[in-house]
A and B are shown apart, each in its own frame.
Chain A
């Protein structure tokens, strides 16, 4: 168990200096943030570095923070180093008007569908993705449903005639 969170932090600061910010350790997992232009550089460094060896992309998804102007969408990468058994979480923030983020598909094959899912639900535009189209929703959909401006349907609405689902137009 050589690799500690402190050591990872040191290595990152050594390499990227001031660009890596927002270090925290919620429930023991090192979490930090980089500017969105740097995501590939960071992932490549984490992947190739002989000490860090974060070569497994466990998960990739987005979070929508509508009140954080200019940083509405967060793309979160969960990476895992199998050799030392350390997990880290890195985040990049992007504005919602121009949600272009570089794709990680060249580095991780599994990022392909994860990014398609993230695009499908949040509209993050992964630049350079080989096949960026909707994956779980229908192709005709013209909005990104996991964004916070689309709340769950109000269960008390009566304008819908939907008798098959117990919501007749007659009550």
Chain B
């Protein structure tokens, strides 16, 4: 009798998909705007009790057509677009883009510029890892660690602010170097960061690393083998946690990374705990790199210590006072701002080690004023495909920490 009523009800009022009544599993939407999803994307989970039977990911909610927009813009106007890929570590994207352009234009940057860039990129990596690792804490129930390290991300943002004026979407640097030299406050804040952050990071580590509850929650959650990870196109800390020691900074050194002495931490099982450990160790390595770069920069004396950009008049804006007084500077200024410089034709691939993986830029120029085609290889778009496999058969709560441990950034995924 109940069956009949139910059928009648279904027929007249709600249209349910075929087989919905008899099925024993539940369909559950995780997202699109659930706080645990770290951005706007949706997972349609099929759960049996609390076990995940299958899942399907839907992405693209904040797609903004950057690749299309880039086809109408001069090179310098594409930098703000790259900010909005992985906005937790925007400077790495900016630098990666500048280096791609410099490769196409055959610009050699001075060593001091490279070292300044390395400092900024490693600060960005640290800021990104701070968020990701502390959010794994939050998603497993430890909110205090998140709030505790957040003040050092704030300090990093203050350093950005001294250099470029903005904090999150930085648009930092120019093709050829930086728009201005680092000022005294920036160095002061960097020193403060180098002195104080290790203590905080040590405490952060103590709160989680050997914490029984945290270990029980994360060990064995969402593991992946090195082989599968490679097949899925994993890069960055997620790949290294699975035991593959691939790091673009070492394999294809850019921006003078070959001058620095640092280790590449690797994990073994590729589970949430290993990913956490790898990121944590990477922050220590980043600190090491920043210290070395800082020392190297202090070795520059006299004229050399003032260098902060290469000489590329076609793409690097002249000083503003020159624009008002010198003809040539005025012409360059006009040409750059109006985007009237023809880009040499060519086909470039450049990739940098972003905070969550290999960020690649594929730029094709046909000699026009804007790229003919620009493609971003966004690391988390590539590896997020594995999420379905990672959470299959696990508990719903595990899916949430696996998601946070992958360091997905919706802006980057959807470009």
Q: Does A12 contact B (CB under 8 A)?
A: no
Instruction: Choose one: A59, A85, A108, A121; the contact of B377 (CB below 8 Å).
Output: A59
Q: Which residue of B lies closest to A131 (CB)?
A: B56
**Residues of chain A within 8 A of B67, CB atoms compared:** 121, 146
- Chain B interface residues (CB < 8 Å from chain A): 59-60, 63, 65, 67-69, 71-72, 103-104, 228, 230-233, 244, 246, 251-252, 346-349, 351, 358, 360, 362, 364, 372-373, 375, 377, 381-386, 414-415
User: Looking across the interface, which residue of chain B has its beta carbon closest to that of A135?
Assistant: B60
Q: Using Cβ atoms and an 8 Å threshold, which residues of chain A touch B232?
A: 109-110
Closest CB in chain B relative to A152 CB, distance in Å: 5
Q: Is A102 an interface residue (CB 8 A)?
A: no
Is A42 at the interface (CB under 8 A from chain B)? no
Find the A residue at minimum CB distance from B103.
Answer: A27
Q: Would A136 and B386 count as touching, CB distance under 8 A?
A: no
Interchain CB contact (< 8 A) of B373 among A55, A63, A134: A63
B382 touches A61 (CB 8 A): no
Q: Residues of A with Cβ closer than 8 Å to B?
A: 26-27, 29, 31, 55-59, 61, 63-64, 76, 78, 82, 85, 87, 89, 108-110, 112-114, 117, 121, 134-138, 145-146, 151-152
Minimum CB–CB distance from A63 to chain B (whole Å) comes to 5
CB pair A108–B231 under 8 Å, yes or no, is yes
A33 to B253, CA, bound (A): 28
Within 8 Å CB of B346, what residues of A? 26-27
**Do B385 and A110 have beta carbons less than 8 Å apart?**
yes
* Closest B residue, CB atoms, query A120: B60
- Please report the number of residue pairs spanning A and B whose Cβ atoms sit closer than 8 angstroms: 86
Q: Shortest CB–CB separation between residue A77 and chain B, in angstroms?
A: 11
Chain B residues, CB < 8 A from A64: 373
> B360 to A59, Cβ gap below 8 A?
yes
Chain A residue at minimum C-beta to C-beta distance from B346: A26
B360 contact from A31, A58, A109, Cβ within 8 A: A58
Contact of A136 among B59, B382, B385 (CB under 8 A): B59
Given contacts A109-B232, A110-B231, A110-B385, contact A26 B347 (CB under 8 A): yes
A35, chain B: closest CB distance, angstroms: 20
Please name all residues of chain A whose beta carbon is closer than 8 Å to the beta carbon of B349 when the two chains form the complex.
27, 29, 78, 87, 89
Q: Which residues of A contact B59 (CB under 8 A)?
A: 135-136
Smallest Cβ-Cβ distance to A111: which chain B residue = B233
Q: Tell whether A57 pairs with B233 under 8 Å between CB atoms, given A27-B348, A146-B68.
A: yes
